[in-house]
Structure 1
């Protein structure tokens, strides 16, 4: 690639002097709980490119943890937000306004309950993924009058007390906060690369394990819902085996249990389809959305079958900022862009990205597996042994070296580098990222 065409330009040591000064100021006033991985202090961004406060230019393949779905400062989203801001900044969800209703209509048209199962849908709007999960859990309990839930090991659903009771991607998220909400039982998430059940179809084995739980310790008649990520995010970007989600659907139908899909990270075009569950043709009863829904503005949604959500009585659930006009305007513009081509771009560019990572894996034995859908891709790093031991230190080193080379990445699972660039990313930017990743692997392996 011609150097003049490259997106990345690092002109100072990292962090630069302005970034160092900002980080020092922040340390005096901000909570130390933020899990910051490396010293990037952002100034501005356009598309897939971001600048730090010292003028260094980076490729952003983290996208604010899959939030900046349409890239940084997409003009159509920015114009929508500016237009909404000119009219009014807030009116509580006690009232009505066009952006909120229009977003409800869009979500109802796009919802997998409608597109896959032919059932109308309704939405409840909020500010974040964890709040969307809380709403989904409350709705399931309200409708079923049952006290128990099933979740999955490795899942991440948020950090508020209800959602935290399901979150199990790292024990540090629960450390110091027990007891969380009672009644949650965790089961393994099927992982063909790291099978827990020897010599078996991992999806079928997990379904059999749930049936055993129902027989021995968790009465199915007391289970309100099963909460699952169609593609597990923080747990390692794990793609379930074919048939697993359909098996969960059948199991829930058999026992009158509601099926909740957490599409906070995987939804809104990230996997090359509007929602990840569409890859397997399985519709949930309730779905949670956030992250990429607002292209960076704080918004979440609980989307449910109308037959379920319509059972909520006036005042059964609510909030102050849900349906904020600026956030709704951003979400409406985002959904238009995703439907009009960005989901297709994610599928096309994601396939190219997977191919390039596969080529990289042939050169580096430490790359144990490349997996994903669309632009939700994980590259698991392993030690050089037959046991596929997670290469935790190597993963951390690769991400740190990538930052110094001008590529923003994050990890997930035990030792997986995850790639979640904006859905606007082009093939040329992917090829540039591969060059930077190759250099970062070489430096990390050499101990540089």
Structure 2
């Protein structure tokens, strides 16, 4: 019995199996963009730990920053005391925005969303929150009210957060929005939701993913994003962008919303922000970030080790953006070379890329599973999204040769589908 199989069996015995793995990878160590399993096999990392390891594995600058901080102190709760590093990272994070803003630190994406909900309700004195179908904002009970990329995420956990509404995402594949998704959806919001369901003066915020990640790497029309921002301004509704996956350079911009030439009111961050350590953040306009003393806090948000790593991430990622766009175009071009009749669409921005597979007009779920497993067997680690989308989220620092080799393997496995 291989060591991997032994560990997988023990994992099943001792861990609650509330999550499904993509393939039987048991990691031993990693360096750069290469993963090594416990049986000594090597793999090209094409998912960066689900979009977290933007600077790759074992980055020396991050390791040294963490070591230096460890020699000072590991933890001293930021929500009860002070330390300079928290201010330094907040200064750097807010420097990327053209408006005065403040930061609240969390430990994860779902915590950032939960905090943003409270901030929005408190500031507006309104109760309704609006999200979009097929989005993913987390699995805690507040954020779960906005999450709807798969029914299994919600099934059995109702009642969820009241006063939460979900709208169709501007996806041209939706038959209800076919041919004219922007105008149809805006008419639906203005003429039906705001006329028949909820007065817009009762809506605190609209939560929006600039690109739906878990939902299938769905990119909205730029016109829709601008119209959505216009409508939120019109009615005094806050626009909250969930940048947990799209933020920190992933789309070739520091934040995903920059691809659409709009400015949000609140930004939710996590994943790549901590360089591999648990760190999230809510960044909002200064006048909005006004929760009263004692109303919201946590023990570990802004942990000094995570902040030390984040400081490096925020210094290094802006230098990589041109490279991210260049490599992303190369990957998309290679995937577009596929001769498979099952490739419905290749789409993405920067190094957030998806290949949608369809068979007989329907999601090719079995095809996705085969591509992932066969790529894994050949030493490449993509993941899935949506119903049948091959998703690529490689480290932003991945070597061009490795990126091309990994993409070629994935494309070849797609071409083998029957």
Which residue in 1 is equivalent to 2:333? Answer: 355
Paired with 2:388 and 2:251, the residues of 1 have a C-alpha distance of 21
**3-state SS, counterpart of residue 347 of structure 2:** strand
Q: Deviations over 1:204-253 (max 9, x none)?
A: 32122111210111111110000010111111101111211111111011
Residues 247 and 256 of structure 2 are in contact (CA less than 8 Å); yes or no, is this contact kept in structure 1?
yes
Which residue in 2 is equivalent to 1:70? Answer: 55
- Give the alignment's TM-score, normalised by structure 1: 0.91
Question: Is the aligned partner of 1:137 residue 2:117?
Answer: yes
What are the equivalent positions in structure 2 for 1:79-158 lying under 5 Å apart?
79-93=64-78, 94-111=80-97, 114=98, 119-158=99-138
Which residue in 2 is equivalent to 1:9? Answer: none
What are the equivalent positions in structure 2 for 1:122-201 lying under 5 Å apart?
122-200=102-180
Q: Deviations over 1:152-179 (max 9, x none)?
A: 0000000000000100000000111111
Which residue in 1 is equivalent to 2:187? Answer: 208
Q: Deviations over 1:39-97 (max 9, x none)?
A: 10001111111000010000011111101111111111111111111110001011111
- Give the alignment's TM-score, normalised by structure 2: 0.97
Stretches of structure 1 lacking an aligned partner (at least 5 in a row): 1-15
Q: Deviations over 1:339-382 (max 9, x none)?
A: 1x22222111111111111112xx11111100110000010001
What are the equivalent positions in structure 2 for 1:433-448 lying under 5 Å apart?
433-443=406-416, 445-446=417-418
Paired with 1:222 and 1:333, the residues of 2 have a C-alpha distance of 41
Question: Is the aligned partner of 1:337 residue 2:322?
Answer: no
Paired with 2:335 and 2:164, the residues of 1 have a C-alpha distance of 37
Question: Is the aligned partner of 1:364 residue 2:340?
Answer: yes
Which residue in 1 is equivalent to 2:205? Answer: 225
Residues 92 and 320 of structure 1 are in contact (CA less than 8 Å); yes or no, is this contact kept in structure 2?
yes
Number of residues of Structure 1 aligned to a counterpart in Structure 2: 416
Judge which range, 146-155 or 430-439, deviates more. 430-439
Superposed displacement of residue 306, structure 1: 0.3
Paired with 2:159 and 2:320, the residues of 1 have a C-alpha distance of 42
Paired with 1:192 and 1:317, the residues of 2 have a C-alpha distance of 39
Paired with 2:63 and 2:84, the residues of 1 have a C-alpha distance of 18
Residues 405 and 440 of structure 1 are in contact (CA less than 8 Å); yes or no, is this contact kept in structure 2?
no
Q: CA RMSD in A?
A: 1.2
Superposed displacement of residue 428, structure 1: 1.2
Residues 368 and 384 of structure 2 are in contact (CA less than 8 Å); yes or no, is this contact kept in structure 1?
yes
Paired with 1:256 and 1:418, the residues of 2 have a C-alpha distance of 36
**3-state SS, counterpart of residue 28 of structure 2:** strand
Superposed displacement of residue 277, structure 1: 0.5
| Of 283, 296, 308, the match for 2:288 | 308
Paired with 1:264 and 1:199, the residues of 2 have a C-alpha distance of 30
**CA distance 1:127–1:121, shift in 2 (3 Å):** same
Q: Deviations over 1:104-145 (max 9, x none)?
A: 10111013xx2xxxx201000010000000000000001111
Residues 268 and 281 of structure 2 are in contact (CA less than 8 Å); yes or no, is this contact kept in structure 1?
yes
What are the equivalent positions in structure 2 for 1:249-264 lying under 5 Å apart?
249-264=229-244
Paired with 2:291 and 2:162, the residues of 1 have a C-alpha distance of 23
Judge which range, 129-138 or 183-192, deviates more. 183-192
Superposed displacement of residue 438, structure 1: 3.2
Q: Deviations over 1:402-424 (max 9, x none)?
A: 11111111111111110000000
Paired with 2:95 and 2:387, the residues of 1 have a C-alpha distance of 38
Superposed displacement of residue 98, structure 1: 2.0
Judge which range, 433-442 or 85-94, deviates more. 433-442
